[in-house]
Amino acid sequence: MEPLIITIVAAIFYFLPYANAKSRKHKSAGAIGALNLFLGWTLIGWLAALIWSLTGNTEDTSISPSTHVKCPDCAELVRREARICKHCGCKLISQ
């Protein structure tokens, strides 16, 4: 049973850069995953993937008037492109 646990822990540690990139919604998460998969076995490849996953090249998920509007019924913020409010189901008027 111990070798199985060690293998699972090693796999989690090995793919740590890719998991970090996916959780931070990094724009290059796929490329980081490929680098991690193919060159992660070298210490330099793994460190490069880890450092790359820690860079600030993430998707912009900030809320601003250009991306979100308030629902007229429940006053919750919804994306400007939405046709129906995800909170109350109200049909939204295109703007």
- Give me the pLDDT at residue 22, please: 95
Do residue 39 and residue 73 come from a single domain? Answer: no
In which domain, by residue range, is 81 found?
62-95
Number of domains in the chain: 2
Do residue 24 and residue 66 come from a single domain? Answer: no
pLDDT digits (tens, 9 = 90+) for 64-88: 888 889 999 999 999 889 999 999 9
Do residue 40 and residue 66 come from a single domain? Answer: no
* 28: CB partners within 8 A, 6+ apart: 21, 52, 57
pLDDT of 95 > 80? The answer is no
Do residue 22 and residue 47 come from a single domain? Answer: yes
- Give me the pLDDT at residue 64, please: 81
Do residue 9 and residue 48 come from a single domain? Answer: yes
Q: CA 88 to CA 41: how far, in whole Å?
A: 50
Do residue 47 and residue 68 come from a single domain? Answer: no
Task: For residues 2-31, give the mean pLDDT.
Answer: 95
Q: pTM of the predicted model, to two decimals?
A: 0.64
Task: For residues 9-23, give the mean pLDDT.
Answer: 96
Do residue 41 and residue 8 come from a single domain? Answer: yes
58, 71, 78 from 74: Cα distances, Å: 31, 6, 10
